[in-house]
Structure 1
Amino acid sequence: MNPSIRSAREGDAPQLVELYRRSYAENAKIGFPSSILDCDEGTIEQWIRNRTVFVATHDEEFIGAVQLIPRPEWELPEIGRLAVNPDWQEQGIGRTLLESAEEHVKSEGWGTVRLRTLSDHPFLEDWYRRCGYERVGVQRLDNRPYDAPILEKKL
């Protein structure tokens, strides 16, 4: 299944709120709460203005999203907030979004990209490793019951 991938627009905020809440609720159920569960349209609109946000659609339904987040402290962009509607998981949507973000990073002249994931998650870090990422560090999170492994990929 090949979804359509496009840049998000501010008018997409209501659908993105629903997508993010639904997608990240699955992680919360297994012990990985996220502040994104409290996101609202204003937050999403701000992300769209200040970051590169891609959405995956199928027949105009929002089925996934990913963001490129500026990280001056890393001197590299970060791929983040990858979300796939639970009804569409395990169909290659996440990989397609990840590859789209990587291609954009590469087209901007970057040779490396980073992302953060969830320590001890049952499959995320392994999935990113299969996508070519390697762990380069860990960010300690005081406000969460988990830490955030930092993964990197040469493009």
Structure 2
Amino acid sequence: MNFKIQNGNINDINEIFRLYKIATDFQKTRFTVHWPEFDKMLIETEIFENRQWKIVTDDKIACIWATTFNDPQIWEEKNDDPSIYIHRIATNPDFRGQNLVGQIVEWAKAYAVEKQKKYIRMDTVGDNPGLIDYYTKCGFDFLGLLKLKNTTGLPTHYDNATVSLFQLTLNQH
């Protein structure tokens, strides 16, 4: 299949929320912590700031995610490092098993270099051995668990949470 990575747009809102709902429903079957219903304004802001992304094939959205260059409440003092942060990867069930996270990682490497960043970072809520294994196979180093101190303004699944931290260091020459 021919996959293209591009920014999400306002016409994608319904599909973005549909994919979040599918992902959240799946999380509820496996984990005690799951995504809340995200605020529409958050997603619209990410779209308008070109931080909402999608993988598209044959005019279908296969996967979505968001990026930011700041994540101080999760990464604390490491937030000062030049990094891109990836959030909320949600895959369309019709496209599972197609290594879309691998494609996101390859895209993120080029995007991070273009934006003069040294690290690609992600977090997941909780201690999830399956996801830890998966993300390390995708090239991330598992940095360990961190109990969040200040979650004001973060989505509710971060309240009183411990997160798994992941980092991919770019080799810049």
TM bracket, shorter-chain basis: 0.7 to 0.9
Q: 1:19 to 1:9 in 2, by over 3 A?
A: same
Corresponding residue for 2:119? 112
Q: What is the CA-CA distance between 1:129 and the residue it aligns to?
A: 0.6
Aligned-partner Cα distance in 2 for 1:127–1:33: 18
Q: Secondary structure at the match of 1:78?
A: strand
Structure 1 unaligned segments of length 5 or more: list them. Answer: none
Distance in 1 (CA, whole Å) between partners of 2:16 and 2:94 is 15
* Distance (Å, rounded) in 2 between the aligned partners of 1:110 and 1:65: 21
1:47 aligns with 46
Write the distance in 1 (CA, Å) between the matches of 2:87 and 2:34: 15
Q: Which residue of 2 aligns with 1:143?
A: 159
Match of 1:56 in 2: 55
Pairing 1:20–2:17 present: no
CA–CA distance in structure 2, aligned partners of residues 61 and 124 of structure 1: 26
Are 1:80 and 2:81 counterparts? Answer: no
Please say if 1:33 is aligned against 2:40: no
For 2:58, the aligned partner's letter is: D
Unaligned runs of 5+ in 2: 73-78, 149-157
User: Pick from 126, 131, 139: which aligns with 1:132?
Assistant: 139
> How far off its partner does 1:153 sit?
0.8
Larger Rg: 2
Query: CA separation in 2, counterparts of 1:140 and 1:20?
Result: 25
Query: Deviation at 1:105?
Result: 1.4
| Residue type of the alignment partner of 2:41 | G
Instruction: Give the drift of 1:85.
Output: 1.4
Q: Secondary structure at the match of 2:164?
A: strand
Deviation of 1:72 after TM superposition, in Å, equals 5.5
